[in-house]
Every structure is written in structure tokens, then in C-alpha cells.
Amino acid sequence: MDQIGYVVEFLAKEVFGKPAYLVGLITLIGLIAARKTTGEVIGGALKATLGFVVLGIGAGAVVGALNPLGELIKGATGAEGVVPTNEAITAIVTANPDYATNIAYAMFFGVLLSLVIARLTPLRYVFLTGHHMLFMATVLTVVLLSAKVTDWLAILTAALGLATMMVIMPAFAHPWMKKVTGNEPVAMGHFGTLGYIAGGAAGQLFKGSKSTEEINFPNSLRFLRDPMVGTAVAMIFIYLLLSIIFLFRAPEATVAELVGSGDIGGVLGILATQFGQALVFGGGVAVILLGVRTILGEIVPAFAGVAEKIVPGAVPALDCPVSFPYAPNAVIIGFLASVVGGLLGFGILAVWLGAAFALPLILPGMIPHFFTGGGAGVFGNATGGRAGAMAGGFVNGLLITLLAAFLVPTMSAIGFPGTTFGDTDFQWFGLVVGNVARIGDITAALGVVVVCAILILIASWWQRRYVETGWVPGGQS
């Protein structure tokens, strides 16, 4: 049994849990099913894998640059509170060997079950974002085990919850995703989907606004039309502005300790360091876009083989940066608007909701605001242009802040005080499962099964009623 557990944990963490390997494996299977030559199979699978490696390098650079930006915002505003972090909670939980094994089993069976649901229902989506599978398996398994559900029942119920979310959320987002991509056969496979849908819906209020990609610059500023350059210039301004405000509010030594001051030290060292962080951010975004284009070039054709042999009509559901190349300017606009929405949410919690419902203050976490805010900006731009991108990012920021606050009591109740998830789908589904789990024992597991069945039925109706009929959010482009 120990050997079986080891194999399952290896597959869950080292294959399903690594997006690059998972995408490469699916591409390999698809190309084999499509009867490509040996060279085409090996080359296509490796190129898709390398595309995700490139994307990961870019994401790592962006995340590294976002950490000091979060400190700058806290220092410039003087705000204190909980910062939502998916990775931190998962690291804490999986450090416990008992939890880690159960989560690995839940993730393994969840992936297999998602393919079964995709095969038997109209929800023909194959979710390929491995780290989000791990995060969702973590929150569901821990909530159920904390409700005193027996190990195997908790594993199987968490697997069903994971599988359900892996097929229903791409379906709910797909009309907007088709609007973004121009009907390309790729879906959104990221558990910030409620924020993207809300962003796209908010954008529909601003019909007639020109796209973020049609900004007309005077001749002297034409260089800003390059997405990489435009991103770097915008972030240089933001980093330096926040650094200056922070320096006015706090001693120079404190600012240097929190955000760095390079080799030279002092005020100039702090400003030079943040200038460099802004450039790293711009370069990281450019690398992400390159990685996404590489992945799409390989995995979309390979899925013809998957669709033919394994899940007829299968559509790959990929990580949120898959939407970024379609509107790079909207990514930055959505990110900044999401941070503004997060700050407003912080204010709402401080003035009203926090006291009324005993909720903590939620600070803007730069990582969820960039990735989900950027995606919401792209969705908002697709339906409402520039104004839609701003509205989409803003609504996303408000959502991930308020939902994070409401999830904290649930996380505290299961032994993780002061922690919360940063993306909308972990938040709303965690709240639903957490409240159902309060029933306790086998009844809690049955309640989650009923919730999953209802969600699959609703998503299947949505797929037939809106996705398959070609409904276009906000009307035709």
C-alpha cells in the first residue's frame, strides 16, 4: 500500500502538479492519437513543455518584482491586514504528512474523474493548470477532514469537488473567452474565473469604448505602443511614485530594509532598485506572452487527437496568462484597476463590513491582483474596450478582497487563523463547502456531493444554452 501511495503522490505532484509536464504529456498523447510522425510527436511535446517553462520563468520574474511592490503599497498607504496567498496555505498544509498524502490522492482521483465527467457530459473541457488543481484539492480535503469525515470518504468527496470545478468553470467563462480569442479552441483553466466573468459582465456596460489595443499615441510617444515598453514605462512610474511616498512616510532605513536599496544604499539606491524592479516586471510580462504563444502553437493542434480518441470535442483549459496576448495593454490596466478595487474593498472592510461581521482587513496581494486583475481586464476589454478593462479589473479587485475576508473565519475554524486564498473560485467554493461541512461526518460529504451534482447540471444547461448556440456577450464584435 505504501508503494501505491508513493506512485500516486508522485503522479499527483510531479506530473499533474507540474503544468509544464502535464501540458507536454497531453500534447504527446494528442499527437500520438493524431498519428503524427515520431519526430513531430517528440518535437511538439517538447516545444509545448518548453513553452510552459518559458511562461514559468516570466511568471517567476513578475512575482519577484511584485513582492516589493506590495511592501511599497503598504508603506505608502500605512495599511495593515491579511494578505491573501494561495501558496502559503498550501505549503503549511502539505507540510503535514497525513494531509499531504490525502491531498495527493484527492488530486489524482480528481483529475481522472474530471476526464470521466468531460466524456459523459457536454462539459468537454480538459483542465491543465496543475498548481490550481493542487490548491483546490488542498482546501477541499482539509475542510472535509476537519469536519471529521473519514479519510477515504474525504478523499473521494474532495476529488469530486475538484473534478466538478475543473469542468464547470471553463464552461461558465467560455462565452467571454471566445469573445477574447475570436473563437479559438482554447478555454480558461484558472480558479479566478468568477472574477473574469464579472470583469466581462462589467465591460458590457461600456459598449462603444475603443479597445485598449487601439490607443493612439502622438508621434513622440509611439514607442509606448510596444506592449513590453509600455508596460515597463507604466510600472517605472508606479514604483518610483510609491517609493517617494513611502520615503516621506517612513525612515529611509525602514524603506531600504523592506524594499531594498542596492549596493549604494540611501535614497538613490532605493529609487534605482525600484527602477530595476519595474524593468524586471516589464521583461517578465514579455516572457509570459512568448511562453503562451509557444504553448498555443503546439497544444491546440494536438488537442484534435485528444478530441478524436479520448474526450470527443475536448477543449484545453489553460492558465490565465493564455488570455494576455490578446490584449496586453488591458492586462496592465486591469491589474492597476484591480489594485484600486482592492484598496476600496479594504476601506469598506475598515469602515463597515469588518466591524459588522467580525472580518479581518484584507490588503491587496500583488500576485492575485496582477494575474486575475490582468485577466479580468482582458475580459472587460473584449466586451467594453478601455472603460471595460478598467471596470473589469476594478470589479475583480473588489471581489477577491471581500470574498477573501469572508473566507478567513472558515479557514480559522479548520485551524488556519489569519490565512485566506487569493482567487475567487477558491473563495466562493471554499465558503460553500465550508458551510456544508459544518454539518459534520458523512452528512457533510453527502451535502458536497449534492452541491457538485447541482453545479454540473447548471453548467451543462449553460453549455447547451449559451456556449453551443454561439451566444456572444455584449453582442458581435
Judge whether 448 lies within some domain. Answer: yes
Counting as low any pLDDT under 70, the low residues of the chain are 1-2, 16-17, 19, 79, 91, 94-95, 97, 217, 220-225, 227, 300, 303-308, 475-477
Q: Report pLDDT for 104.
A: 79
Q: Which residues pair with 317 in a beta bridge?
A: 127, 187
Place of cell 499533474: 16
Cell of 247: 520615503
Q: Report pLDDT for 306.
A: 66
Could you tell me which residues come within 8 angstroms of residue 100 by beta carbon, excluding any fewer than 6 positions away? Answer: 9, 93, 94
| Residues spanned by the domain of 224 | 2-467
Judge whether 473 lies within some domain. Answer: no
Judge whether 476 lies within some domain. Answer: no
Judge whether 424 lies within some domain. Answer: yes
Judge whether 366 lies within some domain. Answer: yes
Number of separate domains in the chain = 1
Cell of 298: 503546439
DSSP tag of 150:
-
Judge whether 43 lies within some domain. Answer: yes
- With residue 316 as reference, give the H or E element that holds it: strand 315-318
Judge whether 475 lies within some domain. Answer: no
Q: How many helices (H) and strands (E) does the chain have?
A: 16, 3
Instruction: Indicate the burial class of 185 (C-beta count within 10 angstroms; 0-12, 13-18, 19 or more).
Output: middle
Judge whether 409 lies within some domain. Answer: yes
Q: What are phi and psi of 79, to 5 degrees?
A: -85, 150
